Structure 1
Amino acid sequence: MKQPIAIQNICKEAMSHLEKRFMEREELIRLLLLAVMSGEHMLLVGPPGSAKSQLARAIAGLFGSDQGFDYLLTKFTTPDELFGPVSLQKLKQDEYMRLTEGYLPGARFAFLDEIFKANSAILNSLLSILNERIFFNGRDKQQVPLHFLMAASNELPEDNEQLAALYDRFLFRFEVEYVKQISSFELMFTAPSTPVPAILTTDLVRQIQAAAQDISLPEPIIYMLFQLKTAMEEKEYVISDRRWHKIGRVWKISAAIHGRSSVNVWDTVLTPHMLWDFPEDLSELKEIFDKVFQEMLKKEMEQELPLQQYNQTVRKWLDREDELHSFQFKKEVGGSLSKDAAERLKAATEECRSELEETARSLRGRLMSWQEKEKNLTEWIASQSIFLLHPDQYAVKFTHLRIQGERILQSVQGLYRTLFDKEIPGIVYDYTL
């Protein structure tokens, strides 16, 4: 496989070409690219004239593919229109087969508009093509080369079991709206009209997918996924085990693109668009995901700023503050203590002194390093995932972690001052930053 940096640069270039042609579609473009790399299909929900079909053709164009197929479905669409006409020559031999070249079973990239208008004669063939990449052509099981299918609909399927099964085949979902900003509206008239350059290859995608098979889902990441599932179910959002499994695989694809050996929290940033069944639920699902994401981010950053460990040390000695302070006072005024009690409390006091000094030195050092990191924090966050649209928004979460660390350091210094009536030697920290 190519070096991760080279892969990321190719992906960034692909996104840049699409962003110049499609205004206010930055998040959708990132989602599309991840879907293509994952080999998962995407559904767009939105009004006509929002550039859905042009975007599908542009995605195929990035691969230089002339094996594209797009079609507008109606309730009158026949299987011949999608899957090809029946071969008359085969019929003469008492065989029922379709000539699929130039039709959906022969396409690598496809766009189907108004997909939920598919009738039952078309539906079963679509299901096997989307999921198993198989087209039942007469008595033959024909492997289809389909790599990615983007579908669109003005409305979601009604309570129909067959259509629900089709809907579940689209892991990625996105609600498309018309351009809103005047700057985007102006750019729309000067956007490049030339075809996008062919800078992606199916071979590259296969390499990424092969690499993803060796990438692990660490236990904390699996727990994060389960927390997300539990939090959603508490709000009565339920999705199939198949979709949860596919979400985990998409995270692995992201990790492969970024050259990681295991999935981390930054591979999960686009997850909300794989969770909803109705567009109006996306806002609440994003809130649910954000809470789980922040908890996971805090755990991952524990390696650089182990707040929980430091806080446990502070709590340990705060619980004994009165006991140790009383011992110090009695020692000063000559209060009476049994020999065993005096020795025990003296040992505890020295242990406390040592642990507080060590904690303060370690925490101060970590905080100083963290401050240096914050100087280029946005750039560092952006380097964690090419799919992050607004890395600056995540920087605030890191500032909150530093503030928590500073509060712990203040607690350590305050406790030390109370017990030993002096400052911790060599610990100077500027809290005004």
Structure 2
Amino acid sequence: MFQKIIEIKNALNTRFFEREREVEALLIALLARQHLLLIGPAGTAKSALSAELAKIVQGANYFQWLLTRFSTPEELFGPLSLKELEKGVYKRNTAGKMPEAHIVFLDEIFKSNSAILNSLLTLINERVFYNNGTPVQTPLMTIVGASNEYPEEGEGLEALFDRFLLRCEVDYIVDDQCFISMLKGTRANQAMPSITLDELRQFQFYADMVDIPDEVYQTLATIRRKLRDEGIRPSDRRFRQSLRLLQAKALIEQRQTVELKDILILSHALWETVDQKEIVSGIVKENAQDRITTELERIEAESTDILAAVRENGSTDAGLEATQKLKALEAQLKRLSAEHSDRKAEILPLLKKVMERKRFVTETILGV
């Protein structure tokens, strides 16, 4: 029955070029009932991706707003009811506004001002909106916040930033062919799958039921200890909330048990400041990946750097050096393939890529 989630993931990946990571993060946030922050320049499909997902969930109320420093509470939470105001009651009419939405997209979220910040924080964290002092439970599942930049220290937005469990950076399309296809709009009219709001709630329930083995808990404790050694201290609450991300990740992979590799998603959740990102990512990968996966990532990154360097230099000496380095990586991959035949499905595609890069250097740079 989880095939619908896979269909939605594949359809969004087809519609939006080079957004696989963001699509997965968005689905995980929705299934886990957590919030996602997208950081990147304007024109990188942040709002389009959120709006498309909201269309897929039939029956879901969707609210989208661009915040400025002059935004007022009325814009997000609704105007005061004139009828109630005549009685001396300060009650807002929330119809069509954020307190009645299941999925919310707030653009330039760090432009939030003090007039709306307290109500926004309460709604995000507790799913409660205080209307005339009366707490009203909201149907909110997920807020997708977007910004062109991170908040600066001293702006009083640390609490708002902390409310977003998942944080992803978004950039422009890199691959030329994907860029051309985007310009042509070759996938714009593709039919999209859909699920009902009740089906989504059922998926969320199943995500909550995904089993987390003791091995995962022990690994999280190890990651926490290693992060503390680096002076990085995610809160106990953030670790606790992160369990839902792991469960949602497993469900998307059509599993009913969390595996160690699911912990990789926490490289987008456990850092507190931008300068901690790389350290957190390294510690998470070190503990969530087996040796083979880590080695394959290292080889791919190294081959990419070699290719970039030789393209920039372009000399015969650089080409010869690059060829020797790529040959060494090729030999390492062949040795891994021979020693770990059960992992050939992962190793051979990378071996092919490295060999193609070596061929490119010998033909283009060396003219052989």
Q: Smaller-chain TM-score range?
A: 0.7 to 0.9
Which residue of structure 2 lines up, in the alignment, with residue 429 of structure 1?
Answer: none
Quick one: distance in 2 between partners of 1:75 and 1:145?
27
Query: Counterparts of 1:173 and 1:199 in 2: how far apart (Å)?
Result: 26
Matched letter for residue 264 of structure 1: E
Alignment partner of 1:30 out of 17, 21, 24? 24
Instruction: Tell which deviates more after alignment, 82-91 or 188-197.
Output: 188-197
Instruction: Give the CA RMSD over aligned residues.
Output: 2.6
> Relative to structure 1, is the Cα distance of residues 161 and 186 closer, same or farther in structure 2, using a 3 angstrom cutoff?
closer
Is the contact between residue 61 and residue 197 of structure 1 (CA under 8 Å) also seen in structure 2? no
Residues 1:217 and 2:212 are matched in the alignment: yes
| Mapped contact 1:106–1:144 kept (Cα < 8 A) | yes
Q: Equivalent residue for 2:228? A: 233
- 1:272 lines up with 2:267 in the alignment: yes
Q: What aligned pairs does 1:74-223 form with structure 2 within 5 A after superposition?
A: 74-160=68-154, 162-189=156-183, 190-194=185-189, 197-223=192-218
Summarize the alignment of residues 281-296 of structure 1 with structure 2, pairs less than 5 Å apart.
Answer: 281-294=276-289
CA contact (8 A) 1:18 1:196 kept: no
Q: What letter is aligned with 2:135?
A: K
Deviation string, structure 1 residues 346-395 (Cα, Å, up to 9, x no partner): xxxxxxxxxxxxxxxxxxxxxxxx967445x44xxxxxxxxxxx9967xx
* Cα contact 1:265–1:297 (8 A) shared by 2: no
Shift of 1:35: 1.0
8 Å contact from structure 1 (residues 58, 196) kept in 2: no
Provide the TM-score with structure 1 as the length reference. Answer: 0.65
With over 3 angstroms needed to count, the CA separation of the structure-2 counterparts of 1:147 and 1:139, relative to structure 1, is same
Q: Which residue of 2 aligns with 1:365?
A: none
> Quick one: which amino acid aligns to residue 204 of structure 2?
Q
SS in 1 for 2:23: helix
Number of positions where the alignment pairs a residue of Structure 1 with one of Structure 2: 304
Q: Secondary structure at the match of 2:289?
A: helix
Aligned residue for 2:249?
A: 254
Q: Residue 305 of structure 1 corresponds to which residue in structure 2?
A: none
Report if the CA contact (8 A) 2:232-2:276 is conserved. no
The answer on whether the counterparts of 1:61 and 1:196 sit within 8 Å (CA) in structure 2 is no
Moved more, 17-26 or 203-212: 203-212
- TM-score between the two structures when normalised by the length of structure 2: 0.75
C-alpha distance in structure 1 between counterparts of 2:191 and 2:87, whole Å: 45
Provide the identity percentage: 36
In the alignment, the residues of structure 2 paired with residue 84 and residue 195 of structure 1 have an alpha-carbon distance, to the nearest angstrom, of 35
Structure 1 82/150 Cα, relative in aligned 2: closer, same or farther at 3 Å?
Answer: same
Pair 1:132–1:392, CA change in 2 (3 A): farther
Comparing 177-186 and 212-221, the one that deviates more: 212-221
SS of aligned partner of 1:151: strand
Gaps of 5+ in 1: 1-5, 299-369, 379-389, 394-433
Q: Please identify, of 185-194 and 70-79, the stretch whose mean Cα deviation from structure 2 is larger.
A: 185-194
- How many Å separate the matches in 2 of 1:27 and 1:145? 26
Pair 1:15–1:256, CA change in 2 (3 A): closer
SS in 2 for 1:157: coil
Describe the superposition over 1:252-311 as per-residue Cα deviations: whole angstroms up to 9, x where unpaired: 23334555454221332322111233445433322211111136999xxxxxxxxxxxxx
Q: CA deviation at 1:105?
A: 1.0
Whether the 8 Å CA contact 1:252–1:263 is kept in 2: the answer is yes
Assess if the C-alpha contact under 8 Å between 1:224 and 1:296 holds in 2.
Answer: no
**Are the counterparts in 1 of residues 6 and 252 from structure 2 also a CA contact under 8 Å?**
no
Shift of 1:86: 0.3
Compute the displacement of 1:195 (Å): 7.6
Task: State which structure, 1 or 2, has the greater radius of gyration over its C-alpha atoms.
Answer: 1
